[in-house]
């Protein structure tokens, strides 16, 4: 069981990926109480060093990890790797906040976004799951509206940046853009289709339903986090040629009618949300506005005239921060305060 201390031995699993490196920066900026930091990654990254709080920390492989000396692991690995190291770490008494999809839908594992259901974080919970990046920002925006008027239906279309796929996807967008602007052929390695100057809507698709894994995650995770297993929700996920931050076009229907001013007030007063919504002055959030920011931004709040009690929202957030690294560290902060 996780024991409360003044300072903790913390490890990042997957430290050299885009989420792991973001975790490193956020741990320092938020002054998380760390006694000793360990960094783990694959063999090809072993020996790489990072500076953390004026100290040099070297990357080790997970095979070298002595979990008995670690209090808390922040997981930023693939789900397949998480399933390998997590049982060993749990047996040694570590607490784990995992960013992969490995444990999200397990009944006994809390799936947490602190602004929405942070009360689920307790000292006797050995592993806590972090949701999909698109889900995290979505539920932050939905929560205050759901509490006030109860959701009947949610329809979301995501516009997801390439950083959600990792460093290789960022590099691919850069290289394809260079190639096209130089009148050369763009090579595809990470995505099956060209991402530069394009949008991709069909990745990891179920051949029978046509739904993607990403779409299924949003549906199932949103229901679990909001505690509404029968919520009618549908999702369409789109990968767009943006380096960082996800946008979401969200349409909701509620049981109780909310006016635009009521919706704006509820969102403005909710934790973790900044409302940028002034149609007259053409003020609304964009992915560039949110890069490096911790909050979820909401704008273009409009009435959906095609249905009863309907609203449109435009929701944007940094997928590497609130969608992943920051949310995981906020969960860890809840844990040490529990």
**In the annotation, is 246 catalytic?**
yes
- Per-residue tokens: 257: 């009618």
Strands (E), the chain: 8-13, 34-41, 49-52, 55-61, 72-75, 95-98, 127-129, 151-160, 232-239, 246-254, 273-275, 296-304, 310-317
In the three-class reduction of DSSP (H, G, I as helix; E, B as strand; rest coil), residue 264 is classed as helix
Contact 310, 62 (CB under 8 A): no
- Report angle CA 304, 310, 312 to the nearest 5 degrees: 60
Residue 17 to residue 20: CA distance in whole angstroms: 5
- Report angle CA 14, 17, 18 to the nearest 5 degrees: 130
Residue 297 to residue 190: CA distance in whole angstroms: 29
- Per-residue tokens: 313: 């929202």
Paired sense of beta strands 246-254 and 310-317, if any:
antiparallel
Alpha-carbon radius of gyration of the chain: 20
**In the annotation, is 189 catalytic?**
no
Alpha carbon 322 to its chain's center: 6
- Residue with structure tokens 């309907």? 310
**Residue 97 — left, alpha, or beta (φ > 0 → left; ψ -120 to 50 → alpha)?**
beta
Contact 296, 323 (CB under 8 A): no
How far, in Å, are 66, 133, 158, 335 from residue 7 at the CA level? 18, 29, 39, 13
User: Catalytic residue among 94, 133, 146, 334, which?
Assistant: 133
User: Catalytic residue among 94, 189, 199, 246, which?
Assistant: 246
Cite the active site residues. 133, 246
């Amino acid at each position: 069981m996780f024991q409360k201390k003044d300072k903790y031995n913390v490890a990042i699993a997957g430290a050299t990926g885009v989420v792991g490196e973001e975790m490193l920066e956020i741990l320092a900026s938020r002054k998380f109480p760390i006694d000793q930091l360990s960094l783990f990654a694959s063999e090809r990254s072993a020996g790489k060093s990072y500076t953390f709080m004026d100290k040099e920390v070297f990357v080790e492989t997970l095979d070298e990890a002595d979990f008995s000396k670690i209090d808390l692991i922040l997981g930023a690995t693939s789900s397949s790797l998480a399933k390998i190291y997590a049982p060993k770490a749990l047996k040694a008494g570590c607490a784990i906040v995992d960013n992969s999809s490995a444990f999200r839908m397990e009944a006994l594992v809390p799936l947490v976004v602190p602004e929405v259901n942070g009360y689920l974080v307790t000292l006797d919970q050995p592993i806590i799951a972090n949701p999909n990046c698109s889900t995290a920002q979505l539920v932050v925006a939905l929560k205050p509206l759901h509490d006030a008027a109860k959701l009947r239906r949610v329809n979301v279309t995501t516009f997801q940046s390439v950083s959600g796929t990792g460093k290789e996807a960022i590099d691919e967008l850069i290289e394809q853009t260079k190639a096209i602007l130089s009148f050369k052929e763009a090579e595809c390695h990470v995505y099956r289709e060209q991402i530069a100057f394009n949008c991709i809507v069909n990745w990891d698709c179920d051949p029978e339903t046509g739904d993607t894994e990403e779409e299924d995650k949003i549906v199932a995770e949103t229901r679990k986090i909001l505690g509404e297993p029968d919520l009618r929700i549908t999702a369409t996920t789109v990968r767009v040629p943006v380096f960082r931050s996800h946008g979401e076009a969200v349409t909701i229907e509620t049981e109780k009618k909310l006016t635009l001013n009521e919706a704006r007030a509820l969102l403005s007063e909710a934790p973790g949300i900044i409302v940028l919504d002034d149609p007259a002055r053409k003020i609304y959030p964009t992915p560039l506005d949110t890069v490096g920011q911790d909050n979820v931004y909401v704008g273009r709040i409009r009435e959906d005239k095609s249905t009863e009690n309907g609203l449109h929202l435009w929701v944007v957030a940094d997928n590497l921060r609130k969608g992943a690294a920051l949310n995981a560290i906020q969960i860890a902060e809840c844990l040490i305060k529990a």
